[in-house]
């Protein structure tokens, strides 16, 4: 089976004042259709940088990113358009996904309009898209992101991300800023959408219980490197690396 996303030897160094940090150090992995891949590891180990490179929010120093068989390592401008048709991202702080001056109605349908749909047609999709994430149009109608709760806003961010039916959804700590009940609801929503649209998900998290609930495979990162990769069961029940054992112990 061909991977939907393949990352080969990805490397990124940042210069900070007089020193520099190797945020992502020669990492390679593959994501297959229908996978939910967890990326775990302590703060600063390079998780967000990895997905920021994959989604082309940052330029790589070296390595390759292959999306659906196409090399997108240096994709810019118009070719980024087709990248974002296939790959969408949901961030830690739901409000970050929205322009505070843009009404949520318009924000959700923006990707559809960018994709060539008329505004009228796109608007017709709103009730359906909101229904997918368990919200009613009356809740968001003519509102701005700051008028919603974090959990509601994250649902709207997910509705926006899946509006154009991407193949891959990347969630960077998408539930970390929420209370436990809202976290559980978002996880259940992601599971439902994954099945419904055969989405492949990359889930970045500190939370191993989240990984247990939703991921079928896990990558453990430490200081920019992948130190262990396996099925979720193997990682949680039979960790090979000392660092993974520590990570599991520290979360029980």
Residues lying near ligand ATP in the complex (CB under 6 A) are found at 14, 16, 21, 23, 41, 43-49
Q: How far is the CB of 52 from Mg ion (least distance, A)?
A: 9
How many residues lie near Mg ion (CB under 5 A)?
1
Q: How far is the CB of 172 from Mg ion (least distance, A)?
A: 6
Pick one of ligand ATP, Mg ion, none as the site partner of residue 14 (Cβ within 5 to 8 A by kind): ligand ATP
Pairing of strands 19-31, 5-16: antiparallel
> Sheet holding 19-31: strands in order across?
19-31, 5-16, 62-67, 70-71
Nearer to ligand ATP, 134 or 150 (CB): 150
Cβ-in-10-Å burial (0-12, 13-18, 19+) of 54 comes to buried
User: Residue 160: which residues within 8 A CB-CB, separation 6 or more?
Assistant: 97, 107, 108, 110, 111, 129
Nearer to Mg ion, 39 or 159 (CB): 39
Look-up of token digits 């396996």: 230
Pick one of Mg ion, ligand ATP, none as the site partner of residue 49 (Cβ within 5 to 8 A by kind): ligand ATP
User: Residue 31: which residues within 8 A CB-CB, separation 6 or more?
Assistant: 3, 4, 5, 6, 37, 168, 200, 202
Distance in angstroms (rounded) separating the CA atoms of residues 217 and 161: 23
Nearer to ligand ATP, 32 or 93 (CB): 93
Is the distance from CB of 177 to CB of 92 less than 8 angstroms? Answer: yes
Is the distance from CB of 159 to CB of 135 less than 8 angstroms? Answer: yes
Distance in angstroms (rounded) separating the CA atoms of residues 141 and 123: 11
Nearer to Mg ion, 205 or 232 (CB): 205
Q: How far is the CB of 90 from Mg ion (least distance, A)?
A: 13
Pick one of ligand ATP, Mg ion, none as the site partner of residue 46 (Cβ within 5 to 8 A by kind): ligand ATP
Pick one of Mg ion, ligand ATP, none as the site partner of residue 239 (Cβ within 5 to 8 A by kind): none
Q: How far is the CB of 113 from ligand ATP (least distance, A)?
A: 30
Pick one of Mg ion, ligand ATP, none as the site partner of residue 105 (Cβ within 5 to 8 A by kind): none
Is the distance from CB of 221 to CB of 24 less than 8 angstroms? Answer: no
Nearer to Mg ion, 84 or 91 (CB): 91
Q: How far is the CB of 57 from Mg ion (least distance, A)?
A: 12
Q: Which of 6, 48, 105, 232 binds Mg ion (CB under 5 A)?
A: 48
Pick one of ligand ATP, Mg ion, none as the site partner of residue 111 (Cβ within 5 to 8 A by kind): none
Nearer to ligand ATP, 117 or 227 (CB): 227
The two most distant CA atoms of the chain are separated, in Å, by 56
Q: Which residues bind Mg ion (CB under 5 A)?
A: 48
């Amino acid at each position: 089976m061909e991977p939907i996303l393949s990352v080969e030897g990805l490397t990124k160094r940042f210069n900070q004042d007089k020193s520099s940090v190797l945020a992502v150090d020669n990492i390679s992995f593959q994501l297959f259709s229908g996978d939910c891949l967890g990326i775990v590891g302590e703060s600063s180990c390079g998780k967000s940088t990895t997905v920021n490179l994959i989604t082309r929010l940052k330029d790589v120093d070296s390595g390759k990113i292959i999306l659906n068989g196409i090399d997108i390592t240096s994709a810019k401008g118009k070719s980024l358009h087709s990248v974002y048709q296939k790959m969408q991202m949901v961030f830690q702080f739901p409000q970050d996904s929205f322009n505070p001056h843009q009404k949520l109605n318009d924000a959700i349908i923006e990707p559809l309009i960018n994709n060539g749909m008329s505004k009228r047609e796109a608007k017709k999709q709103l009730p359906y898209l909101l229904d997918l994430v368990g919200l009613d149009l009356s809740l968001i109608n003519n509102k701005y992101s700051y008028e919603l709760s974090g959990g509601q806003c994250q649902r709207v961010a997910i509705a926006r991300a899946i509006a154009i039916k991407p193949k891959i959804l990347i969630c960077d700590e998408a539930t970390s800023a929420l209370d436990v009940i809202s976290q559980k609801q978002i996880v259940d929503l992601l599971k439902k959408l994954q099945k419904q649209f055969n989405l492949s998900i990359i889930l970045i998290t500190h939370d191993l219980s989240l990984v247990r609930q939703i991921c079928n495979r896990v990558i453990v990162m430490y200081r920019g490197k992948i130190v262990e990769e396996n099925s979720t069961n193997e990682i949680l029940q039979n960790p090979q690396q000392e660092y993974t054992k520590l990570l599991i112990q520290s979360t029980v």
